[in-house]
């Protein structure tokens, strides 16, 4: 990964930018570009979403072709992978020789497919994965991961930094998306874990708000354990001392408690299944981090 400080800044970045897609995120990105003094051309499939941006100085394009033709840099912030092709396939001849920054959420393979499609049509392709909600755009709290064309990243850094903290993750166009989706995987499983706990205590009348007030500081403290797990995983030795063993980590009592309360134990049962696989493979005395091996191998038993 290449961080912001390690990039070659372009002292004369292009100032004309086209933004395709004026949904919640596209609108925020366009507004940030206008605030930074860029000349911004906007286009949206459904007319009428550009009113505020035009009032702030954006030029509006009557068609995707006109929008693409207006600037050397075209940013696509559309709903999904298919939307990008639906918008750009018919105008790909106009895109030739320009840079496409695609911040539409895609899977890694969809990003790679778009990079390959762009290369076939003479388009420099930079994929972006946004780790922010629209309200975080223009703040350093937001992060956007990029991968694909390093040339494009270096040239555009002064522009894309107006949106959020930028990180370049390499020339595999799918990598930014992969990191993004891996981050979201952890987040959604944490949310599901919280909701499962809320359902357990809800069965005896505790409100979700009461539970959240207790769970939030506990989870925040537990994130301090992540670096230790990471050290064990990266070191590849799950026998290092002072770890909680898989045998000790048996969670079947939580599964039973959930069932006893009439609550679906699916989230915690999934964790227990990962533990069981490693214990069955003879690794019960090793650390909890060993469940990584089952996940990484994509198979039921450890290597």
Which of 7, 10, 15, 83 is the binder for ligand FVH (CB under 6 A)? 83
Candidates 23, 72, 170, 284: give the one binding ligand FVH (CB under 6 A). 23
Q: Which stretch binds ligand FVH (CB under 6 A): 76-84, 203-211, 228-236, 261-269?
A: 76-84
Is position 291 an interface residue for ligand FVH (rule: CB under 6 A)? no
CB of 149 to ligand FVH, least distance (A): 20
**For residues 78 and 123, which CB has a smaller minimum distance to ligand FVH in the complex?**
78
49 binds ligand FVH (CB under 6 A): yes
Per-residue x/- track, 151-190, ligand FVH (CB under 6 A): ----------------------------------------
* Closer Cβ to ligand FVH, 3 or 47, answer by number: 47
Give me the 85-104 binding string for ligand FVH, x by CB under 6 A, dash otherwise.
-xx----------------x
Task: Give the residue closest to ligand FVH by C-beta.
Answer: 23
Q: Judged by CB under 6 A, does residue 26 bind ligand FVH? A: yes
Q: How far apart are CA 7 and CA 101, in angstroms?
A: 17
Query: Which region among 19-27, 190-198, 244-252, 269-277 touches ligand FVH (by CB under 6 A)?
Result: 19-27
To the nearest whole angstrom, how small is the minimum distance from the Cβ of residue 183 to ligand FVH? 11
By the rule CB under 6 A, 21 interacts with ligand FVH: yes
Q: If you write DSSP's letter for every residue of the chain in order, what string do you get?
A: -B-GGGS---SS---EEEEE--SHHHHHHHHHHHHTT-EEEEE-SSTTTTHHHHHTT-EE-SSHHHHHHT-SEEEE--SSHHHHHHHHGGGHHHHTTSEEEE-S---HHHHHHHHHHHHHTT-EEEEEEEES-GGGTTSTT-EEEEEE-HHHHHHHHHHHTTTSEEEE--S-TTHHHHHHHHHHHHHHHHHHHHHHHHHHHHTTT--HHHHHHHHHHHHHHHGGGHHHHHHHHHHT-TT-SSS-BTTTT--HHHHHHHHHTT---HHHHHHHHHHHHHHHTT-TTSBGGGHHHHHHHTSSS--
Nearest distance, CB of residue 154 and ligand FVH, angstroms: 23
- Using a 10 angstrom Cβ sphere, with 0-12 exposed, 13-18 middle and 19 or more buried, the burial of residue 250 is middle
77 binds ligand FVH (CB under 6 A): yes
Residue numbers at the binding site for ligand FVH (CB under 6 A): 21-26, 44-46, 49, 77-80, 83, 86-87, 104-105, 130, 133-134
């Amino acid at each position: 990964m290449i961080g912001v400080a390690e990039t070659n800044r372009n002292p004369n970045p292009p100032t004309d930018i086209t933004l395709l897609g004026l949904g919640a995120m596209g609108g925020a990105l366009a507004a940030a570009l206008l605030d930074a003094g860029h000349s911004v051309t906007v286009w949206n499939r459904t007319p009428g979403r550009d009113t505020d941006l035009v009032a702030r100085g954006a030029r509006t394009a009557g068609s995707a072709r006109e929008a693409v033709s207006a600037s050397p840099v075209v940013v696509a912030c559309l709903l999904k992978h298919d939307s990008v092709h639906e918008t750009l396939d018919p105008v790909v001849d106009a895109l030739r020789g320009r840079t496409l920054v695609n911040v539409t959420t895609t899977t890694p393979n969809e990003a790679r497919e778009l990079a390959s499609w762009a290369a076939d049509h003479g388009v420099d392709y930079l994929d972006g994965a946004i780790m922010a909600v629209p309200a975080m755009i223009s703040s350093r709290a937001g992060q956007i991961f990029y991968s694909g064309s390093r040339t494009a990243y270096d040239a555009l850094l002064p522009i894309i930094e107006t949106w959020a903290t930028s990180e370049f993750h390499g020339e595999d166009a799918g990598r930014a998306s992969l990191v993004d989706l891996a981050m979201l995987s952890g987040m959604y499983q944490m949310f599901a874990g919280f909701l499962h706990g809320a359902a357990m205590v809800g069965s005896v009348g505790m409100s979700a708000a009461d539970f959240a007030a207790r769970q939030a500081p506990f989870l925040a403290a537990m994130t301090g354990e992540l670096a230790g797990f990471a050290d064990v995983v990266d070191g590849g030795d799950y026998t290092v001392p002072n770890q909680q063993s898989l045998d000790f980590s048996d969670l079947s009592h939580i599964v039973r408690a959930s069932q006893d309360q009439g609550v679906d134990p699916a989230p915690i049962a999934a964790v227990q299944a990962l533990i069981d696989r490693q214990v069955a493979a003879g690794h019960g005395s090793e650390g909890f981090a060993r469940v990584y091996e089952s996940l990484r191998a994509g198979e039921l038993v450890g290597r």
